[in-house]
Structure 1
Amino acid sequence: MNKRREFLIKSAFGAAGIALAPTWLNAAPAIIKSYNKPDSKINGVQIGCITYSFRSLPDQSAEATLKYVTDCGISAIELMGGPAETFAGMPQSTLDRRRLYQLGGKQRNGESLTAEESKEFASLQEEAAAYGKVVADWRNQVDFKKFDQLRKMYKNAGVSIYAFKPSAFGQNNSDAEIAYGMKAARALGATHVTLEHPSDDAHTLNLGKMGEQHKMSVAYHGHEQQTFTFWDTALAQSPRNALNFDAGHYIAAGHADIMALLEKQHARILSMHTKDRQTPANGKGNLPWGTGDTPIVEILQKMQQNKYKFPASIELEHQIPEGSDAIKEVQQCLEYCKKALS
């Protein structure tokens, strides 16, 4: 009886203490839950990052990528396919992709390959095609629980995934692979998938219709081919087609109407790559933030003032200075955003 009486007295005082506690203490569980987690939503504007920014770092696993993101203070990302698909068990390749892209780029630029280079390029293409079949077979029987597991791992660290960019949405990918990519994106918690604009109306139509079927939006990325009307056909084809706009490339293409484009398309922009490039007159360079011609400050402030919902994704493409690394550079980009929005 004495122990019961003591318990009741303590409970009563405990309840009274909670009732009399200051408001901030009542929110203690939420504070504890978010303690030591990144938060890159700055005064209403979500600053994110595409994990392509960390491509120069040696470990490209999902776990290492998560650490890069949190070390930068980023709380929302566009996730490249590599870390997620490797985590989910995709068979790995020994293909020298860098050499394949190097030779392919040389050929696209109109340069002649030597006989030896032509033979090497053909061999690499065969190897890539064979690996593509292996990947397609794996994607057709993948367990999506691994993607859900990755989402939870990132969420527990304070990082959400708003976009997913695997190599599953190209013109050479089957509808089964496209469906896989959309299902994986949903398991990751993404609102949209991203890909380079294919410049093929039939393909954007198909992707949009598949997006409607799988309740997943498809955001098209552009480089210097972006124009004010670049996405109009795709947007008209399906409400699931959208923009993965690139502000830096748009400036490098020589356009002076970027603010008007944001006003026109803000409801259909699902994410925006942010980098500091120069105009054609100044050389089109990709420079440390604040030294190029992209009006990053004005763009971020316009997003803030007009309450635009899409995230601004930091994309590290300028040359990393000696003594620095990708993490330090992304941190500086985030700091630039904080100053612009403070």
Structure 2
Amino acid sequence: MENSKSNFSRRRFIGTSATFVAGATISGPSLFAAPSMLKFPEKPNSIINGVQIGVITYSFRSMPDQSAEATLKCILDCGINAIELMGDPAEIYAGKPENPVDRRAYFTLLRSKRKGEDLSDEQQKEMAEMQEKIAAYTKVVAQWRSTVSMDKFEELRKMYNDAGVTIYAFKPRAFGKDNTDAEIDWGMRAAKTLGASHVTLEHPGDDVHTQKLGDMAKKHGIFVAYHGHEQQTPTFWDTALKQSKHNALNLDLGHYVAAGNTDSLEIIKSKHNRIMSMHTKDRQTPEHGKGNVPWGTGDTPISQALQLMRDNNYKFPATIELEYNIPEGSNAIEEVKKCLKYCEKSLS
């Protein structure tokens, strides 16, 4: 999962059409006003029989506007009251320098190269130029993060909280081995300011780095929850968990199944006290093709997992992550709503 599928600046957002793909036309100052002027008469509630259902804002990556304001509108339209927030909406809101590279175009070329496809000379040249720009931009962002005030993050938190949405996790691209200590420090401070209990990142596969992150998280009084894809196994997180009480799991139930593991409910039972949040999606087993499919059509025991959380009073949130292909005529908001309905039915 990429942190920046669409990197629109707030200036571009304000200058674009106010018509959402969700089907509601929003006009006037209600969306674009200062946060203190935004009004939300009805607050969402996605706690179902004691289980907090959330959503990762990555689920809305296909929506045309990626600003903090537009993202909040998507969340509210889905009826969800708690989220894992990707980095871009918050950072763009706080004034992050605009990325000069079209990340969609770059990752299209990168995927083609990784698949072994032959790139034309022109495509190779274009990719090399993009990589140079990305390297330069990365340094600019690192410098910005080292000096930016937390004021806008406080303001964003208030805007979301006033609307009835809490931020339980924050996922910027700030915790990798290629990030500076100042960036890691910034990411944890920003997460705390946003009200998050933990930050999330892909497991780096480096014991030295997980030790470092755990130590830094302890200093900030926050947790680091490591995400995994098909490399997840029952022992995948064990070293990091032993290193620090501030290292934790961001279990991905769908990827866990697609990896061929058959103990999905058992790992929840055995690790529940170290799980900070759980990505929830429906994937198939290797025998069935590992597909990422609409909920209820794959092999992931979503209902059983949610019921396990309910029956045992597990307090970590189940995070909806929309990764299956959106059907023609629908959009991310409508599909996330379907996922939430599936949760409601499972927990009723």
Q: Scaled by the length of structure 1, what TM-score is found?
A: 0.88
For 1:277, what is the secondary structure of its paired residue?
coil
Distance 2:231 2:112 in 1: 20
Q: Is the Cα–Cα contact under 8 Å of residues 93 and 152 in structure 2 kept in the other structure?
A: yes
Aligned partner of 1:140: which letter? S
For 2:173, what is the secondary structure of its paired residue?
coil
Distance 2:304 2:237 in 1: 23
Matched, 1:255 2:265: no
Q: Which has the larger radius of gyration?
A: 1
Distance 2:124 2:338 in 1: 42
Q: CA deviation at 1:239?
A: 0.6
Q: How does 1:309-320 map to 2 (within 5 A)?
A: 309-320=315-326
Q: CA deviation at 1:120?
A: 1.8
Distance 1:122 1:235 in 2: 39
Q: CA deviation at 1:34?
A: 9.7
Matched, 1:138 2:147: no
Aligned partner of 2:346: which letter? A
Aligned residues between the structures: 310
Matched, 1:188 2:232: no
Distance 1:227 1:307 in 2: 24
The corresponding residue for 1:268 is 274
- Selected match of 2:225 from 204, 208, 219: 219
Q: 1:205 to 1:110 in 2, by over 3 A?
A: farther
Aligned partner of 1:157: which letter? A
Distance 1:34 1:68 in 2: 13
Residues 165-216 of structure 1 show CA distances to partners (whole Å, capped at 9, x for unaligned) of 0011111100000000000000000000000111111111111111011111
Q: How does 1:63-78 map to 2 (within 5 A)?
A: 63-78=69-84
The corresponding residue for 1:121 is 127
Distance 1:263 1:111 in 2: 43
Matched, 1:199 2:213: no
Q: How does 1:48-197 map to 2 (within 5 A)?
A: 48-197=54-203
Gaps of 5+ in 2: 1-38
- Selected match of 1:329 from 325, 335, 341: 335
Q: CA deviation at 1:276?
A: 0.6
The structure with the largest helix share of the pair is 1
Distance 2:122 2:204 in 1: 31
Distance 2:61 2:229 in 1: 19
The corresponding residue for 2:345 is 339
For 2:147, what is the secondary structure of its paired residue?
coil
Q: CA deviation at 1:323?
A: 1.1
Percent identity over the alignment is 65
The corresponding residue for 1:22 is none
Distance 1:108 1:208 in 2: 32
The corresponding residue for 2:25 is none
The corresponding residue for 1:11 is none
Residues 42-76 of structure 1 show CA distances to partners (whole Å, capped at 9, x for unaligned) of 01000000000000000100001001001100000
For 1:48, what is the secondary structure of its paired residue?
strand
Distance 2:266 2:114 in 1: 34
Q: Is the Cα–Cα contact under 8 Å of residues 100 and 133 in structure 2 kept in the other structure?
A: no
Residues 77-129 of structure 1 show CA distances to partners (whole Å, capped at 9, x for unaligned) of 00000000000111111201122222223333344433333222211110000
Gaps of 5+ in 1: 1-32
For 1:199, what is the secondary structure of its paired residue?
coil
Q: Scaled by the length of structure 2, what TM-score is found?
A: 0.87
